[in-house]
């Protein structure tokens, strides 16, 4: 097996999205909605709070908003990629243990990848 497929973080440059950094359980998501501080952008609602575990985690909520499953999956893939490549490495390098939940608003379906990336990058630089 080659190094890139071995599953080791160093083999893939630390750009993996392992299950330990995902927020997937309903009770964790609801808890973050309640206890997290909300930041709004034109396309996203971003909730963040101190993580109960020793590392940062990311959760995504992409409601249907009367769009097709193809559009919904495309938006989820875009947000997941931004979180995996930009947000989680930034939080890891800052030494913060923060849970971040990104909830797509209806306007997010019309946003480009670049617009979503710019909004999250602005939040990272100015607020955390």
Radius of gyration of the chain (CA): 15
pLDDT at site 14: 52
85-94 burial, b if ≥16 CB within 10 A, otherwise e?
eebbebbeee
pLDDT at 9 > cutoff 70: no
pLDDT at site 15: 66
Q: Quote the mean pLDDT of the chain.
A: 88
pLDDT at site 128: 65
CATH domain 17-127 topology: Ribosomal Protein S5; domain 2 (3.30.230)
């Amino acid at each position: 097996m080659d190094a890139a497929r071995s599953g080791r973080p160093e083999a893939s440059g630390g750009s993996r999205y392992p299950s330990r950094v995902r927020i997937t359980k309903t009770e964790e998501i609801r808890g973050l909605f309640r206890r997290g501080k909300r930041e709004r952008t034109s396309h996203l609602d971003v909730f963040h709070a101190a993580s109960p575990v020793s590392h940062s985690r990311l959760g995504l909520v992409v409601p249907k908003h009367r769009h097709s499953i193809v559009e919904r999956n495309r938006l989820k893939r875009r947000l997941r990629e931004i979180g995996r490549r930009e947000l989680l490495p930034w939080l890891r390098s800052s030494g913060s243990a923060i849970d971040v939940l990104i909830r797509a608003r209806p306007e997010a379906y019309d946003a480009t990848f670049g617009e979503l990336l710019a909004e999250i990058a602005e939040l990272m630089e100015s607020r955390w």
